[in-house]
Structure 1
Amino acid sequence: MSPLPDQLFADGAGAVVPVSPIEVDGHTMSPDRLLRYLRIKVHHLIQEQPWDSIHVVGDYDRLAVISRYEKHGKLFNWERPTVEVRGRDLAVKAFPGADYVHHYGLIISTYLAMTGRSADNVAYQLPDPVLCRAAVEQLDLALDGDLVIVGWALEHLAPTGAVWTHGPGYAWHAARLHGQRVVYLGFRHSIWGDVAGWVVGRLAELGARAVVYVGKVGALTAQTEPNAMLATGGESLIDGSLIAWNDFFGGFAAAQPGVQRGVHVTSPSILLENRDWLARHAEHAFVDPEIGPMGAAACRAGISFGYLHVVSNNLAHHYAADLSNERHRDVVQRRTVLVGRIRDIIAGRLAVRPN
């Protein structure tokens, strides 16, 4: 492996760690669907030409080369890692978070292996936690006991005609709902895994009283059809330990039609969710990278937290819809209906009692 120049890496970052591709045959996604998922994520320069070395680092740098495969026409969660070219070496610059850097390294190495190319030149370097915190501290809002709704589909959750105030990498809109101030907060970049926990901690510092996360989870039970149900809960399994938080929804969300409550499992990367992983967690309900870190951060900060997610895919049974075809018209239409349900449930919860 050809080392990249030291200046490409943040001061204090960890060692450069080679990252091997996963065993595709054991994954919960079929090989064709997994490859389709990876192609959506991998930077075009990696897909189009070989490199002597590819190192994934934690560095939010929009002045580097932007991928042609970034989603357009969205207000939030459309930015993807950029790259910096140094001769025949490539630095892939992801938003600084340990889970995201590792996840993206797995994406690249597995994509290369699945397309018949060597992945021996792929490595990642975990960012220093000081860098992670500094990146999240760019978030600067004046909060005073507000409910902050963060995550996915915010354009449809916020009031019609919402005017968004933009900051570095994020935008927000404040409104009143049932007499209470609600702040809708979205990010242009991914707040994957531990980054989401950093965000909740920062919001508590800024004065938030409660945080609700709206997003997508995978189901771990075969009977749960994607894009037909909502998921909620108050517990997550993190590294084998069960944590619980002060659930913003209490029993309100689970009492609504079409909402399933269950124990969530935190997984730092979709690539790690193979059939052995599924067998170890088959008694639980949902999986994603963010809910656990966010709930743990809320506990540490002494604020309430809740999640209300669309079930986007199923690891235990192959349905037509999964993470590789999320942009299909039928999927988008079904999720639009579910987002409307999320909006109504949040409003109903606030009407019952304040945050």
Structure 2
Amino acid sequence: MWIVFTFIVLYLLVGFLMDFWPFQDGSNASPVKAIFHDPTTASVHTHTMGNSLTEYLKMKVHPLIQQRSWDQIFVIGDHQRDSSKVIVASNEKRDKPFNWMRPTVSVVDSGTLYLHVFPGRDYVEHYAAIIATYLALKDKDVGLVRFQYPSQEDCLNVFSTSNLEKLGVVDIVVLGYVQGLQSWSQSDWEDVDDGNLFSWKTAITTQGHRVAFLGCRICFWGDIGGNLVRTLRRVNGAKCVLYVGKLGSLRAEHIPNRTLATGSRSFVRGEPIKWQNPLEPYLQHAASVVTGVHSCLPSVLYETHDWLVSNQDRVDFVDPEIGQMAKASLEVGCQFGYLHIISDNLARKYDRDLSNERLADVRRNRGKLLSEIQAVLEPFFNGWKSAS
């Protein structure tokens, strides 16, 4: 009897300790209790992308997941690029300087795979939804995909230990499509080693303010963007962060890759966020710019027809990070503004969307919009005054 009792106690103790043990794949994530969640899935019938959803997923899913079947797939927040520990995706877009690093994988045993995603709650949730939806479209079991949210400590530490300190103190930071905004600095990019998260160019405005055009090799998706704003304020003393990126529109008349979006209101997981957009006074003569209310969603996969119908009367734009970055800017006392290319339309099916955005005509039209953005930023830089 005592032998049985002792065995049960030891069994429960081992299980308890394993819950708090570091990941079996040797990741850098903190040894916190392993609480895993089930991802959300979409379909070509429920999602606003329709048939384009399939091609979009193919571009995002790691080839090792596409090439064979797995018994278990765990999605975790862990930035891991060591080729001796993980397998880097062969479909990374290495033909561009920034935003090309994608999640890596490690194989624990013959049937178990870990997907290592840059630490961010939204990004982990997004990639779990991507994989689950991809498997669902292939008529495979989505129940084998589980994900774990990273801790906020892990999400901030990955930036704190990056090369941002080398940038030094700056007044204004521009994020996003910075490689297309080179009117103010013809110098080479600094700290260009692929092992670094960031590279940058800097310029001094006519008012003597230091501006950094900060390129990021990872995708600062969702709350990652908010944590980047927090870090830029704390480490680099940034007083203003501008984000030049892309988003989706809920307005049928907004033509993708021909329209720019901006605003000063957002919803973050239902919470209304309002801030002062420092770019607003400089947009009066920008012909392609429309102003509206934004909503943050953790994943593109959540942009379903049902979501569109329930939000179309209060929301104009959607993307994962604008609201998160605005919220962070309010927390740390930093100005924030965005001027984005509308890349896709949820309300009307256009020929161009997220599944074919690397086509020549898309890149050409986006280049024209980037020229308009530069025309807005030039007077902004020269007229900017710090609020602090």
Which position in structure 2 is the counterpart of 1:251?
A: 281
Which position in structure 2 is the counterpart of 1:68?
A: 90
Q: CA deviation at 1:275?
A: 1.0
Which position in structure 1 is the counterpart of 2:61?
A: 42
Which position in structure 1 is the counterpart of 2:175?
A: 150
Which position in structure 1 is the counterpart of 2:159?
A: 136
Query: Aligned in 2, Cα 1:103/1:254: closer, same or farther, shift over 3 Å?
Result: farther
Q: CA deviation at 1:235?
A: 1.1
**What one-letter code is carried by the residue in structure 2 that aligns with 1:83?**
V
Separation (CA, whole Å) in 1 of partners of 2:118 and 2:284: 34
Q: 1:28 aligns with which of 48, 52, 62?
A: 48
Query: Aligned in 2, Cα 1:130/1:278: closer, same or farther, shift over 3 Å?
Result: same
Query: Aligned in 2, Cα 1:143/1:27: closer, same or farther, shift over 3 Å?
Result: same
User: Is the counterpart of residue 12 in structure 1 residue 42 in structure 2?
Assistant: no
Q: 2:237 aligns with which of 175, 183, 207?
A: 207
Describe the SS at the equivalent of 1:38. Answer: helix
Q: 1:299 aligns with which of 308, 316, 330?
A: 330
Deviations 1:264-284 (A, max 9, x none): 111110001111111121132
Deviations 1:170-222 (A, max 9, x none): 11111123343210111111110000000001111121010000100101111
User: Is the counterpart of residue 183 in structure 1 residue 212 in structure 2?
Assistant: yes
Separation (CA, whole Å) in 2 of partners of 1:93 and 1:212: 29
Deviations 1:39-86 (A, max 9, x none): 000000000001111111001011110111110221100111000011
Separation (CA, whole Å) in 2 of partners of 1:263 and 1:29: 21
Query: Aligned in 2, Cα 1:233/1:254: closer, same or farther, shift over 3 Å?
Result: farther
TM-score (norm 2): 0.86
Separation (CA, whole Å) in 1 of partners of 2:58 and 2:376: 35
Query: Aligned in 2, Cα 1:21/1:241: closer, same or farther, shift over 3 Å?
Result: closer
Indicate the RMSD between aligned Cα atoms, in angstroms: 1.9
Which position in structure 2 is the counterpart of 1:58?
A: 77
Q: CA deviation at 1:161?
A: 3.5
Q: Which moved more, 1:37-46 or 1:141-150?
A: 141-150
Query: Aligned in 2, Cα 1:13/1:170: closer, same or farther, shift over 3 Å?
Result: farther
Q: Which moved more, 1:210-219 or 1:109-118?
A: 109-118
Separation (CA, whole Å) in 2 of partners of 1:42 and 1:145: 37
Describe the SS at the equivalent of 1:35. Answer: helix
Is the 8 Å Cα contact of residues 150 and 185 (structure 1) preserved in structure 2? yes
Deviations 1:228-263 (A, max 9, x none): 111111111112222112312133225421111111
Separation (CA, whole Å) in 1 of partners of 2:97 and 2:334: 28
Query: Aligned in 2, Cα 1:129/1:353: closer, same or farther, shift over 3 Å?
Result: closer
Query: Aligned in 2, Cα 1:89/1:254: closer, same or farther, shift over 3 Å?
Result: farther
- Kindly report which structure 2 residues correspond to 1:217-236, keeping only aligned pairs within 5 A, or say none: 217-236=247-266
Q: State which structure, 1 or 2, has the greater radius of gyration over its C-alpha atoms.
A: 2
Separation (CA, whole Å) in 2 of partners of 1:129 and 1:344: 37
Query: Aligned in 2, Cα 1:14/1:287: closer, same or farther, shift over 3 Å?
Result: farther
Separation (CA, whole Å) in 1 of partners of 2:284 and 2:345: 20
Q: Judging by fraction of residues, say which structure has more strand.
A: 1
**Structure 1 gap segments, 5+ residues each:** none
Is the 8 Å Cα contact of residues 246 and 299 (structure 1) preserved in structure 2? no
Q: CA deviation at 1:165?
A: 1.8
Describe the SS at the equivalent of 2:24. Answer: helix
Q: Which moved more, 1:255-264 or 1:73-82?
A: 255-264
Is the 8 Å Cα contact of residues 13 and 128 (structure 1) preserved in structure 2? no
User: Is the counterpart of residue 77 in structure 1 residue 99 in structure 2?
Assistant: yes
TM-score (norm 1): 0.94
**Structure 2 gap segments, 5+ residues each:** 1-18
Is the 8 Å Cα contact of residues 253 and 259 (structure 1) preserved in structure 2? yes
Alignment: residue pair count: 351
- Kindly report which structure 2 residues correspond to 1:113-128, keeping only aligned pairs within 5 A, or say none: 113-128=136-151
**What one-letter code is carried by the residue in structure 1 that aligns with 2:134?**
Y
- Among all aligned residue pairs of Structure 1 and Structure 2, give the percentage whose two residues are the same amino acid: 38
